[in-house]
Chain A
Amino acid sequence: MKEKSISLKNAFLLHIRAMRELHKVTPEYLPTATGTAFVEALVPYVTVYFSARILEELALLRREDVLWNWVIAGLFWIGIFTILNAILKQQEEMLLDDLWGRKDMLFSQKLFDMDFADIDKQETHDLRAQVKQAENWSGWGLMRAPMYYVKTLKNAIGIVSGMILTIGLFTAKVPDAAGDLVVLNHPIFIFILFAIMLLINFVAGSLAAKAAAYWGSVGDDATFGNRLFGAFGFIGRTGARGADIRMYNQQELVSAYWKKNSAFGVDGKIGSLASGPMGLYASLGVGITTVFTGFIYVFTCLKAWGGAFDVGSVTQYVGAVTALSSNIFAIIELKGELKTNASYMERAFEFLDIPNSMYQGSLTTEKRSDRQYEVEFKNVSFKYPGAENWALKNVSMKFKVGSRLAIVGENGSGKTTFIKLLCRLYDPQEGQILLNGIDIRKYNYRDYMDIFSIVFQDFQLLSQPLGTNVAGSNTYDKDKVAKALVDAGFGDRLATMPQGLDTQLYKEFTENGVEVSGGEAQKIAIARALYKDAPFIILDEPTAALDPIAEAEIYSKFNDISGDKTAIYISHRLSSCKFCDEIAVFHDGTVIQMGSHEMLISDENGKYHELWQVQAQYYTESVA
């Protein structure tokens, strides 16, 4: 945790903003919480009031009918308030949990809207992880705002009602007959009593704040401890690492790290603070607040002793002033917490406020029926944010719709970067990418995305119904989805799916989901690309996970199904290139060769020839 301090005003403003954002997520919460706070704050005073009336009657007049009226009225009103409180409380808790869950959609929506360049940054994820960890650790962050709101409201109501119930304590006069005690009638005592109350609460509050501040000081330690705990405590939870763990007897290493985890144990930083200064401050703080009870007893009892009021009222005044005092204490205490939490909240907002810096054009790509698109890279250079080296340097090339383009090269040669620029996941620092002669930045982003279908090497399917996975939506054209699946070679498997397109994939979401193999998943991903029916279809290393038979099947099929679309293959297996009209060879971020297979293979000093030889040697008899 950074040691910079946030002013109370800024801390307050941050919490107000959090409340606004959260109010949009679950709008029912705020009114319900407000109602609950009112009722809950009033319940104890209702009880104090009625029992004081009964005691008063018993002490003085002892009228049986009046007594019974007070008892019945008391039971009735306390009952009403308790029932109301129970109903509201349940409702509030339910809505609060609902809010807990739904507020994460603020973060996922932000991730949907963010520039891809920012999503791809590790800092973005570290920030998000910090926000989540602070939340898991002790609810720090956004969700403390509603908690503080309810608390403050309750305390404020408590203070007001406490004051109302206390008025009598000062207005009731000790009769002259009481002698010296008449002095208690002097208004100075109101002042003294309040001064003592404020003093005690102030001292107690600063002690409590001092103790609580220790938690803030170990924030980094605590989140680190939680990460260590999560990583090394539960490595064997799923069994997926099982084989490796045993072959390398990893338990000893795991255990060595696990034992370092003492962040929340007795020997941890916070643990030793708790047994030392933190515990002392906290206990002293809470202890001192009780001292005030003594003062208030002395004052009230002396007045009652002097005859200002009866013993029944003593209970009321003591109860009311004590409650008043503890509410004031709570507000003082909150001040410190508000500041601590503000620093966590800042991180949450830092994430939610990551700006979009990519230029968003407004031109539409006009869904051309003739699908006549031409793409051109003009002296394009690109470097990943924070990287020193160019990932692509001065790349120029041109290709037309309907052609088959292969991009080959070693790992790190810039193949995938090229695709990321083409589909505008990133913008180049230098040069231009043109679609039909116009810089792609000038097109509307969503519109531009519409012309691409890409099967990334690390494509993702969700544990959701098969059909929705293909369509990317809960509502879809069944026939079209089925056709896409058949075209992708998934037809036979589709026929065996228990609920057809409604079959859930994988078991993460529901137990009766169906597991599909890596190859089958790849076919579903291809079907998704086909369903989108975009003019450009791009396959990023489509066969890495497949055995030779499946590989051959996909290759021979894909040529047919891509029809009149432009198909781009990225691969380091050159065998896929033979289908393509044109092959671009990437090396160290530049296109060093471009042409047909025949052309490239004949250049014996070229990179393509080298790559080809390396792979072909195992299949040609000439190399032993």
Chain B
Amino acid sequence: MKEKKKPKYNMLQNIWWMVKIAWKVRVRVLVFVVLTATLEVLYNLTQLYIAPEILKRVEEQVALDELLLTIGIFSIAIFLIVGIKEYIEENAMFPHVDVRSYIIGLIGRKCNMTSYPNNFETEFIKLRERAHLATDGNREATERIWETLTNLLKNIGGFVIYLMILSHLNMVMILLVLATCVIGFFVSLYVDNWKFEHRSEEDKIYAQKIYVRSKAESVTLAKDIRIFGLQNWLNDINTHIHDVYKDFRIRCEKKMLLADLTEVVLSIARNGIAYAYLIRLTLEEGLSVSEFLLYFTAFSTFTMWVTGILQALTKLHQQSLDISCVREFLEYPEKFLFEEGANIPKTEGYELKLENVSFRYPGTGTDTIHNLNLTIQPGEKLAIVGLNGAGKTTLVKLLCGLFDPTEGRVLLNGQDIRKFNRREYYGLFSAVFQEFSILDVTVAENIAQTNENIDLDKVWDCIEKAGLTNAIKELPQGIDTHVGREVYLDGVLFSGGQTQRLMLARALYKDGAILVLDEPTAALDPIAENDIYMKYSDMTAGKTAMFISHRLASTRFCDRIIFVADGGISEEGTHEELLEKNGAYAELFEIQSRYYQEGREF
């Protein structure tokens, strides 16, 4: 993949996209942009005129009440402008956050609903990360763009008005000022670009800092730290990474100083020219002191507008690149059919079939599953066993429709699952995977996976079946206690075993036609494990069930066992049949049961 890809959308398209969202979510974002820009220009104008206008009246020795009136008018004007400006400023952040939150919501939805295989594609992962980076703070493009647009408007407005004011003067002067601005701009552009290009370097150091900090503060590592005396090592790593960061910042600093120094030289030149020109006008052509002050201020402010426009455009360009990434991510093509797919036929039982299925993860050279055939009858209890890395989990993910095969087909009652609404297809399964997603919501919501119309009796029933009743009853708020402490500080922290039971309860509540259990007892002790096994036939009554394990003992209550090795089914049958075959399954069983077999002597 090329590093420098042309963004899909240009600056105007991206501004328009943001404006449309703001229009939909919070119109006041747009109102504030226009209002703030206007007020800024007005404020600047009053600041420009206040001293010269008042001084002019002092110089001309006008009547006292006129002098006082002038001061009064200016004071009231400034009071109003500053007051309103401050009011908007106090309120500006909130609608900005709303708009950004809306976009984060879109990104989150895409992440959670996109075709599962997208999660494994480099391009998708990269866009996903960049979309997140563009939205994850108040300083990121999706929020800062409003500030940039305000600045752009303000500076354009100021530029036009000041051009009119200065047009009384020599055009050469204006051009000279413009020239210094442009030179200064290119130097600062160079520095900005340098910083922009090194952003990833900074992000990387930052990620390393966060990583080391999280490790140094982790409770689990705290034991290792004490036993192995790892303090110094961690301090060394920590100090090193801070030194690296400091070095990086010193390099940045040098570049930025270059821009700063250029700016100082240019402003000396600019002010020198302005002084020379205006002093000559005053001395030779009778410009009054107040006019001198007006024009001098106007010159330096004019510079500000020009530089402001150029800087706002640069910023806008950078922000537009980020926003383009967000849009490309949101529009990332889907591989599966969802709402547009066919409905799942409602029948009694579902037969699942893998037909000549091969599967290969993107970017890898070999098949994880190779030319595999398997039919699972409705109501069948199937055990899938094999060593770590044999492809058991991948096989199950193919059956669940999380992946589509690279070759071959997955059939549901004889129909290719690719034509169905995939989300509806997922509804058929009650699964407990090894990597699960527990949310910081209440116990009941975690089991029911919804926050509306929860069937509480059913929830308690599933808790009971999963053997978690006592643990839940002990909680201060029972099933309404939140799980985890990440969000709710009074949440409950479940042990590994309790978590597995919670996941089991969730699967039972869903009551899908097909139950999938991927190593559901790894964190349980033998008696608890046995307890679950005992309930297994009850739980799976009337359902198709798939049970994955590398502990062969637990699979014996299944109708059929398939032994997965090297991406294919190397043996299948009942436990007894497989032992008789004396193949790989039997060998594995022998190793695992050796100790217990010997135990029989006692």
Contacts and interface: CB of A to CB of B under 8 A. Distances in A.
Instruction: Judge: A and B partners, yes or no.
Output: yes
Is chain A's binding surface mostly helix, strand, loop or mixed?
helix
Interface stretch (A52-60, A158-166, A336-344): A52-60
A251 to B, nearest CB: 4
B451 A454 contact: no
Given A258-B105, A425-B226, A453-B227, 14 more contacts: A108-B235, A227-B487, A245-B437, A253-B445, A265-B97, A283-B84, A314-B54, A410-B525, A411-B528, A472-B229, A547-B388, A548-B588, A572-B525, A615-B526
A246 B79 contact: no
B538 interface: no
Given A119-B219, A128-B217, A246-B426, A474 B67 contact: no
7 contacts: A55-B293, A234-B136, A243-B431, A249-B426, A301-B57, A314-B51, A620-B593
A239 B256 CA distance: 38
B343 interface: no
A548 B227 contact: no
A501 to B, nearest CB: 15
Interface in B425-451: 426-427, 429, 431, 433, 435-437, 439-441, 445, 449-451
Greatest chain A CB density within 10 A among B111, B132, B598 is at: B111
B332 interface: no
Nearest to B104: A233
Given A294-B71, A311-B55, A472-B233, A233 B108 contact: yes
Contact of A314 (B58, B74, B111): B58
B261 A257 contact: no
Given A83-B261, A544-B522, A231 B90 contact: no
Nearest to A266: B94
Greatest chain A CB density within 10 A among B221, B268, B550, B596 is at: B596
Contacts of B82: 283, 286-287, 290
B213 A104 contact: yes
Interface stretch (A85-93, A187-195, A492-500): A85-93
A472 B86 contact: no
Contact of B436 (A112, A239, A241, A259): A241
B530 interface: yes
Given A55-B293, A108-B234, A297-B54, A79 B388 contact: no
B545 interface: no
B207 to A, nearest CB: 8
Contacts of A255: 105, 108-109
B102 to A, nearest CB: 10
B596 A615 contact: yes
A387 interface: no
A566 interface: no
Interface in B525-567: 525-530, 550-554, 556
Interface in A385-414: 409-411
Contacts of B220: 456, 458, 460
A235 B427 CA distance: 21
A291 B493 contact: no
A431 interface: no
Given A83-B264, A122-B493, A459-B224, A247 B91 contact: no
A199 interface: no
A102 interface: yes
B289 A312 contact: yes
Interface in A447-464: 449-450, 452-454, 456, 458-460, 462-464
Interface in A66-119: 67, 71, 75, 78-79, 82-83, 86-87, 90-91, 94, 97-98, 101-102, 104-105, 107-109, 111-112, 116, 119
Interface size class of B (residues with CB under 8 A): 35 or more
Contacts of A612: 596, 599
Contact of B91 (A275, A410, A462): A275
B22 to A, nearest CB: 12
Contacts of B215: 460, 462
B72 interface: yes
A559 interface: no
Interface in B253-277: 253, 256-257, 260-261, 264-265, 267-268, 271-272, 275-276
A408 to B, nearest CB: 9
A573 B522 contact: no
Given A235-B112, A237-B111, A283-B86, A257 B439 contact: yes
A279 B90 contact: yes
A298 B67 CA distance: 8
B172 interface: no
A271 B227 contact: no
A253 B595 contact: no
Contacts of B276: 71
Nearest to B73: A294
Given A294-B75, A546-B388, A305 B90 contact: no
